[in-house]
Amino acid sequence: MRERPRVTPNLLRHVEQSAHAVAGLAGRVDPAALTAIVTAVDDYTIGFTLREHQAETVGSQFVRVYEEPHVRYLLESGEFPMLSAFVASGAPPVRRDFATGLEWLLDGFAAELPVR
């Protein structure tokens, strides 16, 4: 992910599919906004995928990180009151499914775009 992606047939297919996904807005929405929408959806998708992969790889180790002495020290410092309250509540992080997060993202775009 640190290197520029190689231009492959699959990358070009992805760009083509993304262009088709926003084609209905062409001419009614600024091209820069269309690019921003496609980029935001890609960023969300990549981020979600990386987080899911990490959850599968690391599993419950994520929850145990709050029990490590240096993390406890930081949480007890008073600098992170909201995070400390969350950890103290014992509530596990809420995991949303991909579709719900994508819907939130797209609803935000719809609210900002001048098109209805």
Q: What pLDDT shows up at residue 88?
A: 86
Assigned domain for 105 exists: yes
Assigned domain for 2 exists: no
Tell me which of 17 and 68 has the higher pLDDT.
17
User: Is residue 41 within 8 Å of residue 22, measured between CB atoms?
Assistant: no
What range defines the domain where residue 78 resides?
9-112
Assigned domain for 1 exists: no
pLDDT, tens only, 22-62: 999 988 889 999 999 999 999 999 999 988 887 776 655 55
Assigned domain for 83 exists: yes
pTM, 2 dp: 0.70
Q: What pLDDT shows up at residue 115?
A: 61
Assigned domain for 14 exists: yes
Both tokens of residue 39? 């980029």
How many other CB atoms sit within 10 Å of the CB of residue 19? 13
**Mean pLDDT, residues 59-84 taken together:** 84
pLDDT, tens only, 1-29: 678 878 999 999 999 999 999 999 988 88
Both tokens of residue 53? 């992969």
* pLDDT bucket at 89, cuts 50 / 70 / 90: confident
**Spatial separation of the C-alpha atoms in residues 53 and 66, rounded to whole Å:** 20
Q: What pLDDT shows up at residue 21?
A: 93
**Spatial separation of the C-alpha atoms in residues 110 and 104, rounded to whole Å:** 10
How many domains, the chain? 1
**Spatial separation of the C-alpha atoms in residues 4 and 7, rounded to whole Å:** 9
